[in-house]
Amino acid sequence: MKGSGSRLHPAWIVLGALVVVTLLGSGLRAVFGVFIRPMEATFGWDRAALSGAAALSLLLLGAAGPVVGWLADRWGPRRVIFVSAVLLSIGTVLSSRVTALWQIYVTCGVLMGLGAGGVGMSTAAALAARWFEARRGLVMGLVGGAMSAGQLVIVPLAVWLTVTHGWRDSFLYLGILVLLVSVPLTLFFVKDDPAQRGLRAYGAGQAAPAGGLQPAPEGRTSVADAMRVPAFWLLAGTFFVCGYTSNGLVLTHLVPHAAEHGFSEMHAAQALGVMGAMNIVGTIMSGWICDRFGRKGPLAFYYGVRGVSLIFLLYVWNVPSLDMFAAIFGLNYISTVPPTTTLTANIFGRYSVGSLSGWIFFAHQVGAALGAAVGGWIFEATGSYSWAFTSAALLAFLAVPMALAINEAPVTRTPSRAPAGLPATAS
């Protein structure tokens, strides 16, 4: 196989470029909170008005998933990533020039939300599935790790730039950084498919993946056809639980929950830092585990551990125990991504990953939105988050049998004449 042997397979170069672009996109997606107080001081806008822009961004981030995933499957991931990186850069740069509240909704809410969605999990999974037949779990673990690392790298950078240069220049420099790094990497190092270089996917034709199932034959599975398969709903349902229990409830309400139990904001921030660092370790380990021991077993295990950790959160008694929860939950936070995306690729085919992962990720964001809202409603009604975290633990336990019920056998699909992004005569 061309590109095999002692030479580094070009798939790893494509992955390296994708990891950097994903890191920048996920980091910029998470920086808006840094600018809330400086913009309040500049314009006198209230917290609720600015939070609306953040909510719009999160909503569009989730809604963009099915669209950009479909475009990645039909148009090619490279073009989607390129356009999205440019859009993200434009939105970030224009945010440095806003003078009215509605402009923040357009720049941060719409442009940055859609741009970040376009360089997110749907397109990353579509690209990775095309280039890797083997090691898909590890690859998606590395992509998930990049998403966590983006927040750990870009958010502190945004804070430093804001303190030293002001919030306007911080937006400006971050937007230029994305333009100067992501766009060239996409243009020069990302290709839609190994066939464009006369290659086969990394690991193509090698041993069967973990679990003994043969790779699925080439072809595409439409969203309508996928919705007739129970595995699709089980994947979407478990990822809904992932969103509810992680981004929705814990990320939104951990800090106020800690404050209600006597912890300082610094202690809560420290716990989030521990959680973010362990995210990287957990998601890479998850990918390695999935490549060696299968997917749905580890996926079920992750949700079981998540449920136990959420019960433990109700009984944290000091700073070390809070950090212990953060470490355990952090190992588990994004560990669900490698098995979910690789199961999608193996069951429905690598040329269907973009569009189907988009809908599965949308289910995740619906769960996240519901988790954030339910946490607030329960606290207002009871004066405590106990029932909110209990509901999350019960959902996590429910996801265990759902994961185990997934049938990993590839579905029958309509063969495709050519991969997306390639001419019909491509070799």
Is 203 within the bounds of a domain?
Answer: no
Kindly state whether residues 174 and 252 are assigned to the same domain. Answer: no
What's the confidence (pLDDT) of residue 221?
Answer: 80
Q: Do 244 and 155 lie in a common domain?
A: no
Q: Of 134, 140, 270, whose CA–CA distance to 210 is shortest?
A: 134
Q: What is the pLDDT of residue 175?
A: 95
Indicate whether 165 and 243 sit together in one domain: no
Whether residue 235 sits in one domain with residue 311: yes
Residues 235 and 356 in one domain: yes
Domain containing 372 — which CATH number? 1.20.1250.20
Residue 49, judged by CB atoms within 10 A of its CB (0-12, 13-18, 19+), counts as middle
Cβ contact 28:154 at 8 Å: yes
Does residue 386 sit in the same domain as residue 284?
yes
Whether residue 8 contacts residue 19, with contact meaning beta carbons closer than 8 Å, is answered with no
Q: What is the mean pLDDT of residues 388-410?
A: 94
| pLDDT 10s digits, 183-221 | 999 999 988 888 777 788 787 765 445 544 444 445 578
Is the distance from CB of 388 to CB of 376 less than 8 angstroms? no
Q: Which residue has the higher pLDDT, 401 or 33?
A: 401
% of the chain exceeding 70 in pLDDT: 90
State the DSSP code for 76.
Answer: -
| In-domain check, residue 215 | no
312 and 269 inside one domain: yes
The pTM of the full predicted model, rounded to 2 decimals, is 0.71
Average pLDDT score over residue span 407-416: 70
Residue 178 sits in the same domain as residue 282: no
SS3 at position 115: helix
Determine, yes or no, domain membership for 208: no
Residue ending a domain, choose from 148, 175, 194: 194
Q: Is the pLDDT of residue 2 over 50?
A: no
* Residue 315 burial (CB count, 10 A): 8
Do both 229 and 127 map to the same domain?
no
Handedness of CA 113, 114, 119, 120 (dihedral sign): positive
130-187 residue pLDDT tens? 888 778 778 877 887 787 777 778 877 888 898 899 999 999 999 999 999 999 999 9
Residue 379 lies in a domain: yes
> Where would I find the H helices in 166-264?
167-189, 223-226, 230-243, 251-260
Nearest-angstrom CA–CA distance, 278 and 265:
20
Is residue 44 one of the residues assigned to a domain?
yes
Higher pLDDT, 413 or 336: 336
pLDDT of residue 4: 44
For residue 190, what are the domain limits? 10-194
Strands (E), 1-53: none
Q: How confident is the model at residue 406 (pLDDT cuts 50, 70, 90)?
A: very high
Task: Give the Cβ contact number of residue 237 at 10 Å.
Answer: 20
Q: Which two tokens stand for residue 123?
A: 């397109």
Residues 6+ apart with CB under 8 A from 341: 121, 125, 128, 129, 136, 140, 353, 357
Clarify whether residues 185 and 284 are in a common domain. no
- Judgement on whether residues 275 and 318 belong to the same structural domain of the protein: yes
The number of domains in the chain is: 2
What are the pLDDT digits (tens) for 96-134? 999 999 999 999 889 998 998 888 877 887 888 788 877
Out of 194, 210, 237, a domain closes at: 194
SS3 content of the chain, % helix, strand, coil (to 5): 75, 0, 25
- Among 179, 194, 209, which residue terminates a domain? 194
